[in-house]
Amino acid sequence: MPTDTMPSSDAAAPPSNGASDAPILKGSEIFVRALEEEGVDRVFGHPGGAVIKIYDAMERIQPSYDHVLVRHEQGGTHAAEGYAKATGRVGTMLATSGPGATNTVTGIADAYLDSVPIVVFTGQVPTHLIGNDSFQETDTTGVTRSITKHNFLVRDVNELASTIRQAYHIARTGRPGPVVVDLPKDVQMDEAPFAYPEEPGLDGYSVPGAAAPTQVDRAAAMIEEAEKPLLYVGGGTINADAPEVLTEFARAANLPVTTTLHGLGAFPETDDLALGWLGMHGFYHTNMAVQNADLIMAVGARFDDRVTGDVEEWAPNAKIIHVDIDPSCISKNVYADCALIGDARTVLQQLRPKVEPKDTSDWLAQIDEWRGECPPYEYESPEEDGIAPESVVEALYEKTQGDAVMVTDVGQHQMWVCQYYKFGRTRSHISSGGLGTMGFGLPAAMGAAFGMREGRNLDVVCVSGDGGFVMNAQELSVAARHGLPLKIAVINNNYLGMVRQWQSLFHEDRFSHTDLKPTNPDFVRLAEAHHCVGLRARSPDEVGDVIDEAWTVDDRPVVMEFQVPKEEMVFPMVPAGAASDDMLTEMFDKEKIAKEG
């Protein structure tokens, strides 16, 4: 994760009581006021004994920000992620000690692997009881140390305000990531002067900006020499607010663009230079372009194994330019011939005037030939009764025309959304990538919808599988309580679909414990039980009507269940550990798979 120089968790933060006329406040009141000073506009949280003083202070002070009572701390942490991804601001979560803190761990790990800026505040037992196995005590900083950009245990109320200032600064700057602040109960009750620091006071903490000029010149020369160049764009481009600069650069230089799962939306998918996404379930022509390119310029991407497959066989003919703000990512998975360490937006601005337009017509024509061999956006309708899942995603695109925030859970449906929804806006695609967290979709969509209330005013659509949806379905009540007009599409095949696909492809149809049908809920009634609208489509001719009806509801969430055959699979597919050009492009040949292992 980020290698920005960090202060020690045990180091004393600069005190926040520099002003002699500063008001004397309890720690709980300092917490409330500090979040106001930080500009927080929404806190997702769930009260408990170790944070009851903070909740009491919120009730007394009535701060300028809103609090959203979630039904489960994991859901709240994913909601903070969704808010952060949709808005570009830091998401905030507040939980109690012990089980409240441990319930946030999955969301923290998800944010860590996907570089999402969130700050998670957890209650803790009084400092004199730490280490005594006290009621609802957990070593939260120890538990989260390996999955946070940084974490703090506040032992002195005089350090509380400055620690909060540092936490938000660390979370949002450099390569973003989660920060945990553990708050013992006695610190919340102690008193201190309150003055919120103007600066974070993090001596030694620095964030790369511009890349070294010599490296920029070298990269420009490599681009000029290349005959088959390719831009490989990741989520770091969006984190750097660089999509507009990237798009201008790609068009000016006439470079084809492929994006990762988190890079979707960084470059308009409808552009002639857009190849779509790459990797395990990427398009055939995109992976073939990667394997035949002579230069790949990676921008804000980390060469994840779901992109590269067999790293020794990945892009064998290509020299690599790697633009990244995190030095630890350079040559970690794939050797970089030229490293541009810095902010992606700044680096692209440095590079733009040094790169002349290239004639890539022959290269683009070759890519078009591969596109014709295995056309994207084509699929066969199910042989038996049921809805083609790809058609649902296409119908959602037709309804929104790409003018929506698409949030997915994890599984086959996630891949279909990446393949069949044409993203044209930055921050329009929200998903769990590195951790692959089932249960992410609904609460993240809820957080994104709260973020949309702050100015963007876009529809928020959540696409989920039946397996992942039930993992955090309780958050429907929260979305209903706040009148969020979420549109939720549940692609229901009554199976853990992606696991079933692997069992069918590589385990001789031994469907071990993936069948959900016997006790899967009635999703329409489940929605209604949570004060939402429930709709169902059983056949292809009902899909459009259900979607149209869902869009007439604007005061609560709508759950749309689409019944699809369990046999449906996601193709293309690069088997785990295979080379990127060794793709399964249609229904598998079991004998070939068995022979090749």
With beta carbons less than 8 A apart as the criterion, state whether 106 and 128 touch.
no
Phi, psi of 404 (to 5 degrees): -155, 165
Q: Which residues pair with 191 in a beta bridge?
A: 26
- E strand spans, 409-467: 429-430, 459-465
Alpha-carbon span 288 to 574, nearest angstrom: 12
Alpha-carbon span 174 to 48, nearest angstrom: 33
Q: What CA–CA distances, in Å, run from 164 to 42, 160, 170, 288? A: 15, 6, 10, 48
381 secondary structure, DSSP code: P
What residue type is 67 in one-letter code? H
What residue type is 350 in one-letter code? Q
Choosing from 135, 248, 508, 590, which is the catalytic residue? Answer: 135
CA angle 284, 306, 420 (to 5 degrees): 45
Chain centre distance of CA 301: 13
What one-character-per-residue DSSP string does 480-533 give?
HHTT---EEEEEE-SB-HHHHHHHHHHSTT--TT-B-GGG---HHHHHHHTT-E
Six token digits for residue 91 = 């998401």
Phi, psi of 171 (to 5 degrees): -60, -40
Task: Identify the CA nearest to 216 among candidates 331, 320, 354.
Answer: 354
What residue type is 220 in one-letter code? A
What one-character-per-residue DSSP string does 137-187 give?
---HHHHHGGGSSEEEE---GGGHHHHHHHHHHHHHSSS---EEEEEEHHH
Neighbours of 435 (CB within 10 A): 18
Alpha-carbon span 444 to 456, nearest angstrom: 16
- Strands 404-408 and 429-430, by their bridges, are parallel
| Residue that has been written with the tokens 């005590």 in this structure | 137
Six token digits for residue 10 = 């045990």
CA angle 176, 74, 39 (to 5 degrees): 45
Alpha-carbon span 277 to 423, nearest angstrom: 11
185 is annotated as an active-site residue: yes
With beta carbons less than 8 A apart as the criterion, state whether 524 and 488 touch.
no
Query: Which residues lie closer than 8 Å to 328 by C-beta, 6 or more apart?
Result: 1, 2, 3
Alpha-carbon span 444 to 76, nearest angstrom: 8
Choosing from 36, 37, 136, 528, which is the catalytic residue? Answer: 136
Choosing from 185, 228, 319, 487, which is the catalytic residue? Answer: 185
Q: Which residues pair with 308 in a beta bridge?
A: none
Alpha-carbon span 265 to 260, nearest angstrom: 10
Choosing from 73, 269, 390, 394, which is the catalytic residue? Answer: 73
Choosing from 222, 498, 573, 583, which is the catalytic residue? Answer: 498
450 is annotated as an active-site residue: no
498 is annotated as an active-site residue: yes
135 is annotated as an active-site residue: yes
* Helix runs in 200-283, H state only: 213-225, 235-239, 243-253
Helical (H) or strand (E) element with 232: strand 229-233
Catalytic (active-site) positions: 73, 135-136, 185, 498
